Structure 1
Amino acid sequence: MARPDKAAAVAELKEEFESSQGAVLTEYRGLSVAQVTKLRRNLGENARFRVVKNTLTKIAATEAGLDEQVLDLLEGPSAIAFVRGDVVEAAKGLRDFAKGSSPLVIKGGVIDGKPMTPEQINELADLESREVILAKLAGALKSKQGQAAALFQALPLKAVRLAQALHDKRSEEGAEA
């Protein structure tokens, strides 16, 4: 029979898997407590970095319906970044931290229910944040609206100029006759 503390830990991990947009699995071997604390600060409010026990995490992941590929990543000392906000921002934080002199290794993960390799997570980290993409989209839409407004304003002006030119030409022809 499972101990109550282990059952509670499994239930908590299962809830983390189900309520987060993504989970990035890492190997934290060689990280000091200070480095883990720094990493948690770098990830910000969008992600929660947890050192986990593999056996309990495998049970929780299975109960959460995660792919077998993700379960295979739970070898060696594991930690998981559960992402509740912008997945790109969290991927950038992990990648940048791992690029430094840190021994952190990104093993893979699951984002929106899809298994991801370390290479895919690094590609995701290369994307711009959600806010930047939305700002660019808004700017593009605004510029198109401005172009459309200028076009709609130009059509009546051209019609008025054409009518004025015809009137002037008729006036000249009437004066010559």
Structure 2
Amino acid sequence: MNRQEKAQIIEQLHEKASRASIAIVTDFKGLTVEEMTNLRAKCYEAGVDYQVVKNTLARLALQDTDHGGLSEHLKENCAVALGYDDPVALAKTLADYGKGNKKFSMRFGSLEGKFLDTDGVKELATMPSKPELLSSVLGTMQAVPRNFVCLFANIERKFLYALTAIKDQKEAA
């Protein structure tokens, strides 16, 4: 690989890392080409960029980004997964793949500039995703007006029952 190709890889990875809200470094030692292709396909479906890159190039590319703190931890063979919208989606995708393949592991990550160790990344994978959280908040917000309407509907209903009982009582007399 010549100097120009390396510069292009650094520039592309730097641009992606600048946009990413989360970066997770993984170990892929022992994975076959078919397993790596399967992992990349799952990452693509989740809207994640997964790239195997040399450590020196990754260190240069991650400088001056939120994920610059990862540079000092890059050792041995590793790949970088970058997520843009939902950080939990990236962690869940990698954790699900790791359950099915024991050779694959997540090493560490960076969430909006904060370093996450392996346990932190795994804990992030257990959290509900962004759509699940939004639906939960929406359900909570809708519960208050719905309960308020039901309360007044019950008051009207009881008043109507009382009027009907008085009418029935007067008709019987």
The match for 1:98 is 98
1:149 is the counterpart of 2:140: no
d(CA) in 2 for partners of 1:142 and 1:129? 20
- State how many pairs are aligned: 165
What 5-or-longer segments of structure 2 have no aligned partner?
Answer: 164-173
The match for 2:49 is 48
Cα RMSD of the aligned pairs, angstroms, is 2.6
d(CA) in 1 for partners of 2:36 and 2:73? 20
Q: Which amino acid aligns with 2:113?
A: G
Q: Give the structure-2-normalised TM-score.
A: 0.82
Q: Alpha-carbon deviation of 1:100?
A: 2.4
Question: Rg bigger for which structure?
Answer: 1
1:5 is the counterpart of 2:12: no
Closer/same/farther in 2, CA of residues 35 and 102 from structure 1, 3 Å limit: farther
Q: Alpha-carbon deviation of 1:151?
A: 2.9
1:129 is the counterpart of 2:129: yes
| Paired residues of 1:22 and 1:82 also in contact (CA < 8 A) | yes
1:16-37 residue CA offsets vs partner (Å, 9 max, x unmatched): 1101111110111111111111
The match for 1:169 is none
What 5-or-longer segments of structure 1 have no aligned partner?
Answer: 165-177
Q: Alpha-carbon deviation of 1:39?
A: 0.9
% identical aligned pairs = 27
| Paired residues of 2:46 and 2:89 also in contact (CA < 8 A) | no
Q: Alpha-carbon deviation of 1:60?
A: 1.2
Q: Alpha-carbon deviation of 1:156?
A: 6.8
Q: Give the structure-1-normalised TM-score.
A: 0.80
